Chains A and B, each alone.
Chain A
Amino acid sequence: MGEFLHQLASGVALGGVYAIMALALVMIYQATQLINFAQGEMAMFSTYFAWKLIDLGEPYWLAFFATVLVSFIGGVVIERLIVRPFANAPVLASVIVFIGLSLIFNALAGWLYGYSVQSFDSPFTGKPWFGAGYMSAHESGSIVVTLAVLALVYAFFRFTPLGLAMRAAAQNPVSSRLVGVRVGWMLAIGWGLAAAIGSIAGMMAAPIVYLDPNMMGGVLLYAFAGAVLGGIDNPFGAAVGGFAVGVLGNLIGAYLVGDEVKLSVALAIIIAVLVWRPSGLFGRRLVARV
């Protein structure tokens, strides 16, 4: 029982990381119908930035918030300079840009910080806030942080004029422009937010998966599985899917197949969902009248 609870708890903690990463993917997807394959490497690069700040002696939470801010700006700049010019290009061109971006960040991280695995300290030490006995302090802290991110993102999109304008721009760009919304900037801000959220995912994952240029490869795959499972055009579904994949992956890894093939579980989930329910569990149930 203790072992089961332990697996469950660490599944939830990892699931939180997948959930906010899935949310980052969905934000870009809703506006562009594209999956940003570079999201993981961008998050990894952000995490190195935090690690460097901490290494230079900055306090953890200063490094944390500075990283979120810098990642936001970085996301905006990447959209404006690199993604924007391909806005009207064929899908394949965008996919190639995303793959190129991820290769660039991977190489850049390796070149700047080296390829050896680094440890990344958790800000949560001592006793866990809850779940003592089957959960580490970091896992409990990470769950709180990821839930806070989900709540903040929800509140932003639900209650602020800018959040409303971003949703509007994603679903009807022409009507949005006709009421004065600067649609181009909404996309750029979306990239900034996705990068900022991704950086938090990276910083929460790093104490668990350790820091190296390939640390986010697996995370991105699980996040993608979560997004597909919950519904790639539904932020709520994607977040639930992220948690589900975290828990399922851990339990299946521990009791059924072993950790080595755990990643294939994510792939199996993606394929199964795409075959049986392409819109995901919480797929779009829009009622439209024509």
Chain B
Amino acid sequence: MSAPILDVKGLEAWYGPARALRGVDFEVEDGGVTAVLGANGAGKTTILRALSGLIRRSGDIRFRGRPIGALATEDVARLGVAHVPDGRGTFTDLTVEENLRLGAYVRSDRQGVREDFDRVFGFFPRLKERRRQQAGTLSGGEQQMLAIARALLMRPHLLMLDEPSFGLAPLVVAEIFRVLGEINRNEGVSLLIVEQNASLALDLADRAVLIETGRVALSGPSQAIRADDAVRRAYLGY
């Protein structure tokens, strides 16, 4: 088995003086999908923020073998880590197309960027129809698609998503997860998905990590976690 694309050991993170993560370990396989599950306030969003360097963190974080725990957010992104934040992070005053162009901001391969525009418009045709529209006027589902499309224009090796299903209608959620699966299978983009909707995330993931008050309560292959009735009832609530 090849080395994991993301290897996290002893991750701690703080909001001011308050410690929100207390030593979290997990991995994302190269080309794999890891789901981060847990109740409200467990620290899932905090994990992604810490990996992106948006908050103070410590611990050993390796991305493609390289320590990234001391890098600024911009530099983590430039290495190929795309982060779709909770709330979707839309540039509401800009057009849909400008939002997408920002995804490609650090790239210089114009031809490749053009192809990637076509690719994401293929995944989300609605974005193409609305490319000249102010992004703040999109529906919640469209903004989630836009956030994912913007992240894909970065040509990331690892795509981190914070509750991509949040607040969306089931049909839209299904469409988004179908695309995520396709990106993972066909293009080899590794995924780290934070979700409240555990069954949805476990279907896509090969590994899962259960977070409880800033610690890992349980982790392992997603099949095993899904199969364990006690775990399901205690942690996943379904």
Binding site for B on A (CB under 8 A): 161, 164-165, 167-168, 171-172, 174-183, 286-289
Q: Tell me, in angstroms, the Cα distance from A162 to B89 when the chains sit together.
A: 20
Q: Which of B26-34, B97-105, B114-122, B183-191 contacts A (4 or more CB under 8 A)?
A: B97-105
Q: Are A167 and B94 in contact (CB under 8 A)?
A: yes
> How many of chain B's residues have a CB under 8 angstroms from any CB in A?
31
Neighbouring B residues of A161 by C-beta, 8 Å? 101, 105
B140 at the interface (CB under 8 A from A): yes
Q: Are B74 and A287 in contact (CB under 8 A)?
A: no
Q: Are A174 and B136 in contact (CB under 8 A)?
A: no
Binding site for A on B (CB under 8 A): 52, 54, 72-74, 77-78, 82-83, 85, 89-94, 98, 101-103, 105-106, 134, 136-140, 143, 150, 154
User: Given that A289-B137, A289-B139, A289-B140 are contacting pairs, would A178 and B77 also be in contact in the complex, using a CB cutoff of 8 Å?
Assistant: yes
Residue of B nearest to A167 (CB): B94
Q: Tell me, in angstroms, the Cα distance from A171 to B102 when the chains sit together.
A: 13
Q: Are A181 and B105 in contact (CB under 8 A)?
A: yes
User: Given that A161-B101, A286-B136, A289-B136 are contacting pairs, would A178 and B89 also be in contact in the complex, using a CB cutoff of 8 Å?
Assistant: yes
Q: Are A172 and B105 in contact (CB under 8 A)?
A: no
Pairs across A and B, CB under 8 Å, 5 listed: A164-B98, A168-B102, A175-B90, A177-B77, A181-B105
Neighbouring A residues of B54 by C-beta, 8 Å? 174, 177
CB distance from B72 to the nearest CB of A (A): 8
CB distance from A208 to the nearest CB of B (A): 36
Residue of A nearest to B92 (CB): A288
CB distance from B80 to the nearest CB of A (A): 10
Q: Tell me, in angstroms, the Cα distance from A165 to B105 when the chains sit together.
A: 8
Q: Tell me, in angstroms, the Cα distance from A169 to B177 when the chains sit together.
A: 30
Q: Tell me, in angstroms, the Cα distance from A99 to B102 when the chains sit together.
A: 35
Residue of A nearest to B75 (CB): A180
Neighbouring A residues of B154 by C-beta, 8 Å? 179-180
Q: Are A172 and B91 in contact (CB under 8 A)?
A: yes
Q: Are B77 and A180 in contact (CB under 8 A)?
A: yes
Neighbouring A residues of B92 by C-beta, 8 Å? 171-172, 286, 288
Q: Are B134 and A174 in contact (CB under 8 A)?
A: no
Q: Tell me, in angstroms, the Cα distance from A37 to B191 when the chains sit together.
A: 48
Q: Are B74 and A177 in contact (CB under 8 A)?
A: yes
Q: Are B91 and A168 in contact (CB under 8 A)?
A: yes
Q: Are A174 and B105 in contact (CB under 8 A)?
A: no
User: Given that A167-B94, A172-B91, A174-B54 are contacting pairs, would A179 and B140 also be in contact in the complex, using a CB cutoff of 8 Å?
Assistant: no
Residue of B nearest to A178 (CB): B83
Q: Are B89 and A174 in contact (CB under 8 A)?
A: yes
CB distance from B49 to the nearest CB of A (A): 9
Q: Are A289 and B138 in contact (CB under 8 A)?
A: yes
Q: Are B136 and A180 in contact (CB under 8 A)?
A: no
Q: Are A178 and B73 in contact (CB under 8 A)?
A: yes
Q: Tell me, in angstroms, the Cα distance from A289 to B142 when the chains sit together.
A: 11
Neighbouring B residues of A164 by C-beta, 8 Å? 94, 98, 101-102, 105
Q: Tell me, in angstroms, the Cα distance from A289 to B136 when the chains sit together.
A: 6
CB distance from A276 to the nearest CB of B (A): 25
Neighbouring A residues of B136 by C-beta, 8 Å? 286-289
Nearest first, the 6 A-B pairs at minimum CB distance are A175-B89, A180-B106, A177-B73, A180-B77, A288-B136, A180-B78
CB distance from A231 to the nearest CB of B (A): 13
Q: Tell me, in angstroms, the Cα distance from A167 to B91 when the chains sit together.
A: 10
Q: Tell me, in angstroms, the Cα distance from A286 to B92 when the chains sit together.
A: 8
Neighbouring A residues of B106 by C-beta, 8 Å? 179-180
Q: Tell me, in angstroms, the Cα distance from A174 to B73 when the chains sit together.
A: 9
CB distance from A20 to the nearest CB of B (A): 23
User: Given that A161-B105, A286-B136, A287-B137 are contacting pairs, would A179 and B94 also be in contact in the complex, using a CB cutoff of 8 Å?
Assistant: no
CB distance from A287 to the nearest CB of B (A): 5
Q: Are A165 and B102 in contact (CB under 8 A)?
A: yes
User: Given that A174-B54, A286-B136 are contacting pairs, would A180 and B94 also be in contact in the complex, using a CB cutoff of 8 Å?
Assistant: no
Q: Tell me, in angstroms, the Cα distance from A183 to B77 when the chains sit together.
A: 13
Q: Are A179 and B138 in contact (CB under 8 A)?
A: no
Neighbouring A residues of B72 by C-beta, 8 Å? 177
Q: Tell me, in angstroms, the Cα distance from A76 to B187 when the chains sit together.
A: 42
Contact with B105, one of A171, A180, A286, A287 (Cβ below 8 angstroms): A180
Neighbouring A residues of B94 by C-beta, 8 Å? 164, 167-168, 171
